[in-house]
């Protein structure tokens, strides 16, 4: 069925957006603004592809993408949390660094055939017409994305540790006065965001297009950043927004395939134009934005000595 095929491609396109945006959401909830999502994603993508090509196991590639993404985020954490560098400038530098290093590391892997992460067929449920292939015949990273949405939502709003993390993001000075380790929590949040970005990158090079090409993230890290604001820092809204942006991305591809009389350059820019439009619409509701935005977002914290 055509509809089923389109929905399957939307799921594949939306999954990396959801995962990377969830990681950034947790990072920002801790009061840290990391604009290096794109760089961490592309490093995860090249690491996953390289590890898979060397070992022959895409599962090793997934782990490699997660680990490299988390390690790459530590550079951002050290510069901004320990050395108190500007978070915006450091995040932008991290993206540029990631794009350059990934291009250098992945040069020898360009053109090599990839090994796709296999699907997981859930017995009986996978045979259900229409819903079976969509929900119960997917890859590991899809199921991880759903688990992450549920887990992050529970962690932030149902657990004591999540309450501490949100307290750090809302007022790091007050949290520090209460004995909460602000820097430690922010390091953990930054690493979680990096691990999610690395996992999203692994999805791109092992599932979405099982190959390595330079700059294959194609701006998805920036869409993930916008998605966090679009979702007003709520995990379930990230899931909905991710699939909305995924639908826009796939829609423009199908429009080009059908030969719609619109310049292909405009159609290619459509997902990014939609991102800008959404952010403009959100900016009009200043009250809602201010209510949900972590008050200490982007602000440096230097503990008392």
List, in order, residues 6 or more apart from 158 with CB less than 8 Å away: none
Helix, strand, or coil (residue 121)? strand
Per domain, the residue ranges of the chain are 2-292
Alpha-helical (H) ranges within 179-263 are 182-203, 220-230, 235-257
pLDDT (0 to 100) of residue 198: 97
Measured at the alpha carbon of residue 219, what is the angle toward residues 218 and 225, in degrees to the nearest 5?
A: 150
The answer on pLDDT for 172 being more than 70 is yes
Candidate from 1-5, 129-133, 247-251, 277-281 with smallest mean pLDDT: 277-281
Phi, psi dihedrals of residue 109, rounded to the nearest 5°: -100, -5
pLDDT value at residue 272: 75
Over 90: is that where the pLDDT of 40 sits?
A: yes
- For residue range 67-124, list pLDDT tens digits in order: 999 999 999 999 999 999 999 999 999 999 999 999 999 999 998 988 999 999 888 8
pTM of the model: 0.93
What's the pLDDT at 285? Answer: 66
Q: Is the alpha carbon torsion for 48, 49, 53, 59 positive or negative?
A: positive
What pLDDT is stored for residue 296 in this prediction?
92
The pLDDT value recorded for residue 261 is: 64
How far, in Å, CA of 98 to CA of 50, rounded?
Answer: 15
On the question of pLDDT at 305 being above 60, the answer is no
Q: What is the pLDDT of residue 232?
A: 87
Which range, 51-55, 108-112, 248-252, is most confident?
Answer: 51-55
The per-residue pLDDT for 260 is 65
- pLDDT at res. 288: 60
Q: Model confidence over 207-228: pLDDT tens digits?
A: 999 999 999 998 899 999 999 9
pLDDT of residue 259: 66
Q: How far, in Å, CA of 274 to CA of 289, rounded? A: 19
Tell me how many helices (H) and strands (E) the chain has.
Answer: 13, 2
258-298 pLDDT, tens digit per residue, is: 666 667 666 677 777 777 777 777 666 666 666 678 999 99
What is the mean pLDDT of the segment spanning 180-190? 96
Give the model's pLDDT for residue 277: 77
Q: 137-139 and 119-121: which strand pairing? A: antiparallel
In DSSP terms, 271 is beta-bridged to none
* Averaged pLDDT for residues 132-137: 89
pLDDT at site 130: 84
The CATH fold assigned to 2-292 is ABC transporter involved in vitamin B12 uptake, BtuC (1.10.3470)
Q: Which one is predicted more confidently, 93 or 131?
A: 93
Residue 219 CA: distances (Å) to CA of 16, 223, 241, 261, 272: 12, 7, 16, 25, 8
Q: How far apart are the C-alpha atoms of 99 and 42, rounded to whole Å? A: 7
pLDDT at 185: 96
Residue 257 has a pLDDT of 66
């Amino acid at each position: 069925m055509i509809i089923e095929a389109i929905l399957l491609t939307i799921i594949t396109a939306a999954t990396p957006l959801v995962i990377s945006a969830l990681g950034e959401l947790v990072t920002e909830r801790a009061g840290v603004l990391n604009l290096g999502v794109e760089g961490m994603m592309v490093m995860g993508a090249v690491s996953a592809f390289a590890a898979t090509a060397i070992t022959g196991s895409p599962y090793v590639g997934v782990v490699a993408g997660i680990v490299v993404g988390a390690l790459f985020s530590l550079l951002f954490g050290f510069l901004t949390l320990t050395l108190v560098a500007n978070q915006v400038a450091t995040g932008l530098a991290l993206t540029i660094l990631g794009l350059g290093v990934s291009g250098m590391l992945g040069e020898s892997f360009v053109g090599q055939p990839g090994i796709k992460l296999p699907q997981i067929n859930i017995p009986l449920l996978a045979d259900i017409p229409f819903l079976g292939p969509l929900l119960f015949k997917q890859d590991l990273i899809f199921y991880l994305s759903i688990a992450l949405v549920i887990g992050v939502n529970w962690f932030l709003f149902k657990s004591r540790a999540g309450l501490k993390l949100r307290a750090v993001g809302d007022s790091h000075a007050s949290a520090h006065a209460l004995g909460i380790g602000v820097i430690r929590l922010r390091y953990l949040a930054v690493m979680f965001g990096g691990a999610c970005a690395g996992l999203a990158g692994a999805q791109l090079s092992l599932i979405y297009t099982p190959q390595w090409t330079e700059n294959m993230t194609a701006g998805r890290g920036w869409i993930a950043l916008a998605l966090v604001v679009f979702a007003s820092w709520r995990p379930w809204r990230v899931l909905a927004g991710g699939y909305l942006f995924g639908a826009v991305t796939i829609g423009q591809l199908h429009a080009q395939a059908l030969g719609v009389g619109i310049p292909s350059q405009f159609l290619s820019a459509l997902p990014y134009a939609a991102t800008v439009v959404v952010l403009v619409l959100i900016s009009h509701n200043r009250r809602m934005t201010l209510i949900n935005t972590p008050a200490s977002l982007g602000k440096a914290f230097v503990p008392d000595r």
